[in-house]
Amino acid sequence: MRFNERELVSLSRQPSERAAQLGMRGPKKGDVLKKRLVKLVVNFLFYFRTDEEEPMGALLLEQCRVDREDSQTFSIVFLDESERRYLFECDTQEQCQEWIDSIVKASYEFMRRNLIFYRTEIHRLTGKDPLEQYGISNETRFQVSSLKPVAKDT
């Protein structure tokens, strides 16, 4: 996936689902724990030096695993790069759990599974597909973003 640097900086300035100063250690050997401003915006985890406005980097929270390391520490590991581990240290056990929950829920895959579950449940209870009213058939059921509005003749 390609990203335009300007677009990422712009996204990093959007309202965040969660933001805090956390201890962070990157995946390189010899990296030490440093205080970083960490912001969760949609499915990106941005991290900043505490005195700068532009992010140092961003993690796309797809195809990753979030693990609790201890009561106040969690890590993010990407499935295709399991040797690269980002470590985050929180101030409290509660804060750590809130970050873990928020990161897990931020992924496209999590949202997709929820859509499938709720769509199936509504269909089971009502006998109707809730997306049919929008012209979304079974063939295109989860390709919503690829649908283009059809202009009606007036």
d(CA 108, CA 115): 10
Q: How many domains does the chain have?
A: 2
Q: Judge whether residue 10 has pLDDT over 60.
A: yes
60, 46: one domain: yes
Question: Is 31 inside a domain boundary?
Answer: yes
pLDDT value, residue 89: 97
Residue 78: band (very low, low, confident or very high) from pLDDT cuts 50, 70, 90: very high
DSSP 21-68: EEEEE-SSTT---EEEEEEEETTEEEEE-TT-SS-SEEEE-SSEEEEE
pLDDT, greater one: 43 or 129? 43
Question: Is 150 inside a domain boundary?
Answer: no
Tokens of 46: 């941005």
Global pTM value = 0.75
Half-sphere exposure of 109 (CA within 13 A, CB side): 8
Q: Judge whether residue 147 has pLDDT over 60.
A: no
85, 101: one domain: yes
28, 61: one domain: yes
The DSSP output letter for 140 is G
pLDDT value, residue 152: 39
28, 78: one domain: yes
72, 129: one domain: no
Question: Is 24 inside a domain boundary?
Answer: yes
pLDDT, greater one: 14 or 1? 14
48, 62: one domain: yes
53, 33: one domain: yes
Q: Judge whether residue 146 has pLDDT over 70.
A: no
pLDDT value, residue 84: 87
